[in-house]
Amino acid sequence: MKNLMRNPKAKTVVLLCILAVSTIGAVFAGLTLSNRIFPDTIIIVPGENSANQVTIYGNGVTFISYVLNVTLQQGTSTIQFYLSPNALTDTLRVSGINVVKTTVSEESKPLIEKGDVITVYTQDNTFTGKFMGWNDMLLLEANNGTIMIPGDKITRIVLSSVVQVQGPRILVEVTTDSPLGEYQLRISYLMRGPKWKPTYFIDLNTSLLDCWATIDNVETWNNFTLVLVSGGPHIIITGYPIYFTASGLSNYVESVDFTSTTNDEYHEYTYRGQLSFANGTTVRLPLFNGTVTLRQEYYWQSGEVQNRYHITNTLTEPLASGTIEFYRGEKWMGEDSINYTPINGETTAIVNYAQDITVNSTVTKSVNDSRHQVQGTQITIQNHKTVDIQITIQQDINGYTLDVCTPSATRTGSTLTWTLQVSAGDKTTIYYEWEHNW
């Protein structure tokens, strides 16, 4: 020791050695303490929202699933990753490891958000409008007013269209006690949006139908598989059942881009390649085409005479609700919307209005006393065209007694239907009379 004290260099070396040993011991103790008390954290922050498969329903609810490869060290570990701000965190499912606890940084998004379009069924009525919130009652914005619906009167709610919400991505922390090793973490959840809708194009000359899918305001996903689904799942909210409207893609004919399968009650259409979407964009993809059966007719119930077409779905899958555009060759003729149409089913769409065909309705008889009410109506159809036409006329008599009808009509319930031939430049008349006894 004396020799060491006399040698300053030796003294410095000894102090450095002591400090080094102390530091190593402290680090080792710290690591040991960390392994014993504090969990290791695996932070996974992808550059975009992760998705291996994106399944979009027609009403704007989407199912996301993907796989993360993780390496667990010895001891309890916490894995961090992010979800879209539109994620419904109550639906988050994590598998592939033993999950002890899951924590999210944001409150769970409600299934129904302010601004969603819903239809509320009660014991007595049906209401459609924008959801405003719950305040002891369900508040619905409709017809420039607010409808208040008691919760105990609601029998079901149909969610027709959802709005997307803004905000930061949601941080998820998954705590696991699985042993060290390599794992495939399988993650899935529902989210609000994006939306998709079918648009149909029909050539009235050839009866050829083309269908495109439009996907609005997509998230940022790279190299994923896209699935479009017709039909909607059943979801529960605050004790009341919600049935998603059956909208979405529902037809496929020899498409080079999509393959069609049936899964339970759904028609699924999977894009054959990998896609990448960018947030805030609208993507349009060709879905299918095929020939349908068209039958043209003129139709009047009130107002203008409609030039409309009956469309028989002769394709191999049902048609989903969507917008239909009519063309004659390269010329656009008009547009309308169609409802869900099953295979071999029929739907009707208005192309435009027939300006050269006029229909006038006049009440020529009216009796209203303490015993009964009688009303007689004359309808005049004038064909100003240079060709003969066939026109369908319909009137509703509210279930009253039909006393007079010239010419004879077909009656279904309270609806009277006439199908008439009117020569070029000619006109014809209908007279019907109904009675209602008090």
**Could you read off the pLDDT tens digit of each residue along the chain, which spans 438 residues?**
334 334 444 433 333 333 333 333 333 333 333 333 344 677 676 555 689 999 998 777 899 999 988 888 776 688 888 888 888 888 899 999 999 999 988 655 556 778 888 888 888 889 999 988 877 788 999 888 899 988 778 877 777 777 776 677 888 999 998 988 899 999 999 888 888 889 999 999 999 999 998 988 778 888 999 998 875 555 555 445 544 443 333 333 334 466 666 665 566 778 888 888 888 888 899 888 899 999 999 999 999 999 999 999 999 877 888 899 999 999 999 999 998 888 899 999 999 999 999 999 999 999 998 888 999 999 999 999 999 999 999 999 998 999 999 999 999 999 999 999 999 999 999 999 999 997
One-letter amino acid for residue 19 of the chain: L
Query: Would you state the pLDDT for residue 220?
Result: 84
The residues that bridge with 309 in the sheet, in sequence order, are 296, 349
Which phi and psi (to 5°) does residue 19 adopt?
Answer: -65, -40
Cα–Cα distance, 296 to 311 (Å, whole number): 9
Q: What's this model's pTM, rounded to 2 decimal places?
A: 0.69
Give me the residue spans of the domains in the chain.
2-38, 42-109+165-191, 117-161, 357-437
Is the backbone of residue 373 left (phi > 0), alpha (psi -120 to 50) or beta?
beta
- Max distance between CA atoms of the chain, in angstroms, equals 135
Torsion sign (Cα): 184, 185, 186, 191? negative
CATH topology of domain 357-437: Immunoglobulin-like (2.60.40)
Query: Would you state the pLDDT for residue 309?
Result: 97
Q: How many beta carbons lie within 10 A of that of residue 231, not counting itself? A: 21
Q: Nearest to residue 198, comparing CAs of 3, 73, 358, 58?
A: 58
Query: Would you state the pLDDT for residue 224?
Result: 92
Which phi and psi (to 5°) does residue 110 adopt?
Answer: -70, 150
Structure tokens at 304: 């203008």
User: 321-347, pLDDT tens digit by residue?
Assistant: 889 999 999 999 999 999 888 889 999
Cα–Cα distance, 63 to 282 (Å, whole number): 19
Cα–Cα distance, 316 to 341 (Å, whole number): 12
Peptide linkage before 318 cis (omega within 30 of 0):
no
Contacts of 96 (CB under 8 A, 6+ apart): 67, 183, 184, 185, 186
Q: Nearest to residue 70, comparing CAs of 174, 173, 181, 188?
A: 181
Query: Would you state the pLDDT for residue 237?
Result: 55
DSSP codes joined into one string, 325-367: EEEETTEEEEEEEE--B-TT-EEEEEEEE-TTEEEEEEEEEEE
One-letter amino acid for residue 359 of the chain: V
